Amino acid sequence: MSQFDFPRINFSGSAALDTATANNGNYGPPLTLFDQDESMAFIPPRCYIGSDPTKCPQEYASQLLEDKYQQYYVPISPITTENYQDWASTPLGNFSADQSYINLYNFLGIFQSTPGYWNYFGDLSVTLNDVVVKGITIPDSTLGSKTFTPQNPQGCPPGLSDMLNAELSFNSDYFMPDSRTTAFMCDTDSVGQMCTQIFASRVGLYSNNGGENKTFFSGTPVKSTARWMNLNRVLNYTNMIPMGGAASFYSMIQLDPGSEVASIFSQYTGGPVTCLFMKIMIHEVYEVRNPNYDLTPKKKVRSASGSTVELSKNPALVSITGSITPWKIGDLRTAPLARILKSSQAITIDPTNIPVPNPKDKAPLKIPASVTMGPMFISQDIEGGLLSVDILNAINEYGSNPGGFPTHGGSGDIPPYRTFESYNYGKFSLAYHPDGQGPPSPITDINFSDYSLAQLKATGGMMDIKVPPGTDYSHGYFILLLNGQTVLKEDDVFITTDQQGIYAEQNQAQVGVYMSDGLPLVPFKLKVLKRGVPVAQANAVPATLQSINVNTNVVNNASITIYDGMTYQFPIDQDGCFTYAFVYDQSELMPNNFGLPDLFAFTKRAYMNVIRVLSEEPQLDIYIKGGQPVTWQVVYDNVFQLYKTLFPIMDAIVPLNEANWSEPFMQQKMIQLISVENWNAPMYMPVTRDLSAAQRQLLVLWVNQSQQLKA
């Protein structure tokens, strides 16, 4: 059960997400920079008109073209790979080369938008800042559990007490001043942004008390993937996606030999501990969304030649809250196994004490009149008489005490909040409703003191409730009530997987296996629990599999049956990104042509998976199969132009020209970094994981030809 086990090391702090934003599709349509099907930049970029060509302004009608989806667009012809970076970091209408398109930009409502969005020069890194242990929770025979904090450490067991205020870090060597993070974030689906991944090669817990360096543990985490996005968690950021949202990430950590925490944890687990389980919630996201790139903070980046380059850096600042617990054999590596309660009705919000943000040059934002809560998870220890409840991402919050407006902020941007607090709903009641046996039975009350933000940080959002040993809750369902009304209700069936966010090559020879967290390729496998118990194949339950195209808002439904341990084979004949939802409760079906309210509900409730099918690149056959010489121009057009245009940090570190990339050492290093054996390593090239097998083959052929010519 991992996240529910003891002891729990609970942490909180902040982080910088140096996301690269040009491929996010924020303005598309109409402005579209990235061909997600082919994982390439559109050169030139496109301004989409839609399916009706007559809607195109007459002065641009002669330039109109049609794509493979029968959608019409105007190419911004003056923009090439040579001037792309300057254009992408300049508000539309202010760049000299495309002045003739200003009327089109105005017509489409994108005038003064910056094509590269808010952090064009991002390197995808995740850097933790002062993420420290705020609480340590151990079992208690009377209360269920007891949490010790830095303010109240009395009675905390030796060894564990030393971890209070220790710092969690992804850095390669925490105690070295120039040590850098090993964590990087990329989306399986960058346009729909339904599946964000974190890759890291190192995570550890450290302290430096009285000048003594101490490592409590260090280890290697598996890839983690965003789950249970609560897109309106922060009430005064509602509708500012992703600023209003939160998402949970889970990752098993393989401990380094000799990690001190292993012997401490084993005293509670009753057996050896070789792995840990880490739950992280990212929330309180703050972005300067429309920056002036001339005023953004500058950072000096060292290039491969040893020179320094000054780049505009504008990372998102976020809060991190979570916990570290023992991991046991049989648990999933990237997801909890639990029972889940989901929203059943909206809760009215009192806006009285919630500040209203005032965006620059825009109308004040609105506090929502009502919201639905995020999901809540429950795990039961029948023998021990304990219910453990995770409410971390269920609770809404709001920002207060705004700071100053950022000097590089633009139209629509708002000041950051200095503090946050949980919204006070009042008193909840957790109850159990036996099947067909009258009214629900109360279990416990959940007061504001149980879900204040300070308490959530100290406990990792966990509550432990003592119940009579032997109590069986498997013949009914849990509900959460507020003022006598059910606001969360348990799903009868809980569906999850360790293969959230997978990759395949278009029409690959190996059928039914996918890249999930490095080699070997694995099948997609479901975990299906009915009220906490695995569903046997003989008792398979009916469900609907939804195939959802988040770009075209088209949903297709198919009836299937599901059970614990079953595998599913996704179609891979078409390239692109595809979202699938396994739906047990028919009320959760995503409707066609969904809007923001449907999307908000979907991300809180859906058992979904995203698969990226990388193009087989038929245009490369003449080189790979036909033996045509591979020139630098061929490699640039089919691989490097993506990074020159949409991920320019790569061009800044090692300029993407023939001289640099034809150098033997650089070529050999590149071949090493693109090797599929290194796919789950953070510094796999590219970090975005969008290099297809055909593109890798092309690069290998090019390097081999280059080396032969030099021999």
d(CA 695, CA 624): 10
511-540 pLDDT tens trace: 999 999 999 999 999 999 999 999 999 999
At 437, the pLDDT band (50, 70, 90 cuts) reads confident
180-212 pLDDT tens trace: 999 999 999 888 778 999 999 999 999 998 789
d(CA 657, CA 659): 6
Query: What pLDDT was estimated at residue 605?
Result: 82
At 263, the pLDDT band (50, 70, 90 cuts) reads very high
At 432, the pLDDT band (50, 70, 90 cuts) reads very high
Best CA proximity match to 247, nearest among 232, 237, 262: 232
Mean pLDDT, residues 317-339 taken together: 96
> Boundaries of CATH 2.60.40 in the chain?
494-614
Please count the other Cβ atoms lying within 10 Å of the Cβ belonging to residue 302. Answer: 11
Query: What pLDDT was estimated at residue 709?
Result: 66
Name the average pLDDT for the chain. Answer: 93
Q: What is the DSSP letter of 637?
A: I
Give the pair of three-digit tokens for residue 207: 């302290």
**Cis ω for the linkage preceding 29 (within 30 of 0):** yes
Mean pLDDT, residues 338-367 taken together: 94
List of residues 6+ apart from 360 with CB closer than 8 A: 405, 409, 410, 411, 412, 413, 414
Query: What pLDDT was estimated at residue 221?
Result: 98
d(CA 490, CA 404): 43
Could you confirm whether domain 494-614 is CATH 2.30.30? Answer: no
Residue 595, pLDDT > 70, answer no
Q: Who has greater pLDDT, 137 or 470? A: 137
Residue 711, pLDDT > 60, answer no
Name beta bridge partners: 310.
Answer: 300
Mean pLDDT, residues 422-434 taken together: 97
Look at the block and give the residue holding tokens 């098993």. Answer: 252
d(CA 391, CA 341): 10
At 682, the pLDDT band (50, 70, 90 cuts) reads confident
At 435, the pLDDT band (50, 70, 90 cuts) reads very high
Query: What pLDDT was estimated at residue 135?
Result: 98
Phi, psi of 539 (to 5 degrees): -115, 30
Contact 540, 568 (CB under 8 A): no
Mean pLDDT, residues 664-671 taken together: 93
Residue 586, pLDDT > 90, answer no
Of the listed ranges 298-302, 575-579, 628-632, the one predicted with least confidence: 298-302
Of 296-305, 466-475, 536-545, highest mean pLDDT? 536-545
Contact 196, 247 (CB under 8 A): yes
Contact 630, 103 (CB under 8 A): no
Q: What is the DSSP letter of 229?
A: -
d(CA 658, CA 663): 9
d(CA 624, CA 534): 47
Give the pair of three-digit tokens for residue 592: 């066609």
